[in-house]
Amino acid sequence: LRHFAENLDRHVQQEKIGALLLIAPPRALGFLRKALSDATRRAVVGELAHDYVKLSLPEIERRLVG
């Protein structure tokens, strides 16, 4: 997760990401909050503390849109 947070930070710095919605299991989300830079935290427009790892893409889309 630390590597993921570093990648997000880099993309925000390079202005490749302007807004970010974090969706992760609760523990991972807590870690990400602490690991992200201030600039990346400001880019976060929302958070969803759910574990969708084992779901298919159509099921994830249904849950997020539905």
What would the pLDDT profile of 26-64 be if each residue is shown by its tens digit? 999 999 999 999 999 999 999 999 999 999 999 999 998
Report, in this order, helix, strand and coil percent for the chain, each rounded to 5.
55, 15, 25
Report whether pLDDT(66) > 90. Answer: no
pTM equals 0.81
